[in-house]
Amino acid sequence: MTGTAIPRRLALVALTGALVPAVASASNMTHPRTPVTWEGTPCLTLHDRSEDPIFHLEYGIPFEDLEVTPDEVPGSRRHQFIAYCRPHHPQDFLPTWITQADVDAAVAAELVGPGVVDATDILELSEHWADCWFRINGDDERRPISDAMADAGVDWDTSAVPAGVYTLNGYTYEPVFNIWTLRPGVVKIHDGDPHAVGPAAAISTGELTPYRDDEVMIEGCAHALPGATFTAYWAVTPMPDVEPEWIEYVVDQELPGEEFAFAFTPPEPLWGESGLIRVDVSDPEGRTYTTYQADNLLVINSDNPDSCEQGGSFIGSPCGGTSGAGDSTGDSEGGTAAGTADSGSGESGDLTDGEATGNSGQTGDDGGAPKGCACAAAPGAGGPWLLGIVVPLLRRRRRAR
């Protein structure tokens, strides 16, 4: 999780009141939901359940949250953990509710009106996620948000799920505003031969806010047969109920080991827009695994002032007609930058439980205040960090059935 992930999720609580109709007044409506926190999680973990079916899941909490108000549902302010058989991009929202029984409890407590919650927003009724989600702990085993429970962690009996690659999510149950917290990375559950499951991958690079002429590195981890390749895509973040239009950026790049990386300069359609990043890893047997960057890419619609060749102080708008943001990595051809990282991790298949790959930090400009650029002043213009940034309000997506 990036450092900005928790505040963004908590800010969502303040917005949801406008998105959920017929919600009765309750004292905890403005109470920030307490997320699960994830620290030091590996980018990719191999778990051989033939040796031990139990996968121990460690998690944390930012603080204890045990004071349930009288108007809340019984068992409110609890944590639950769910494994998904595939990842989802930031616009592919997970359902807010686990079961119809959870919704009925909220209706009985007059927290939400009857018939307000659509079946697409209930995990057990969702066609989109049918047969693709598995409880790590049961609905009747939701855990109090306490230091003692977090310190103990939770055990996942993987013998109850098919072998495969899973993304894990923490769920904060506090109707009506329940929230999810994605665990970084993936877990490959196998029965002695991790390659029998097929490829696995995860993007480890967190939130990026590059200028339009910046070159940033997008990195991740992978586990696949020798000879595997990866293809990277970008898309402008779509409106609700619209599928992303994925555009190839790096095509059939050789996977160098258990890590991948490529240099990315935002194409013009992304300037001043929010975007998505996707990576497909394909092995020689024709099996493909798709993963997504967990955070939206936000592109500033101006050149990086640090790339200006003139010295002096910043006056107004950034210099135009300059290129790049310092040293680049990878090769550029036809506007497409592609680079690979030497993993130095040896042969594929050597990972054990808890080992991480591809967890190096992101590179590129951090979107901070400009410096060292002498440009003509633009009347009324602020710094480039205020120019042309389009951060659309991403409303919860409803799927048409």
| Cα distances (Å, whole numbers) of residue 327 to 107, 330, 360, 365, 373 | 58, 10, 18, 12, 18
Q: How far is CA 251 from the centre of its chain?
A: 23
- pLDDT tens digit string along 110-161? 999 999 999 999 999 999 999 999 999 999 999 999 999 999 999 999 999 9
Comma-separated ranges of CATH 2.60.40.10 domains in the chain = 199-343+362-401
User: What homologous superfamily is domain 199-343+362-401 in, according to CATH?
Assistant: Immunoglobulins (2.60.40.10)
- pLDDT tens digit string along 3-48? 333 333 334 444 444 344 444 455 678 899 999 999 999 999 999 9
Percentage helix, strand, coil for the chain under 3-state DSSP, each rounded to 5: 15, 25, 60
- pLDDT tens digit string along 251-266? 999 999 999 999 999 9
- pLDDT tens digit string along 287-315? 999 999 999 999 999 999 987 654 433 33
Q: How far is CA 185 from the centre of its chain?
A: 9
Q: SS3 of 273, please?
A: coil
| Cα distances (Å, whole numbers) of residue 344 to 100, 227, 258, 281 | 49, 16, 8, 19
Using CA atoms, how far apart are residues 234 and 101, in angstroms rounded to an integer?
Answer: 39
Q: SS3 of 20, please?
A: coil
- Is omega for the bond preceding 176 within 30 degrees of 0, making it cis? yes
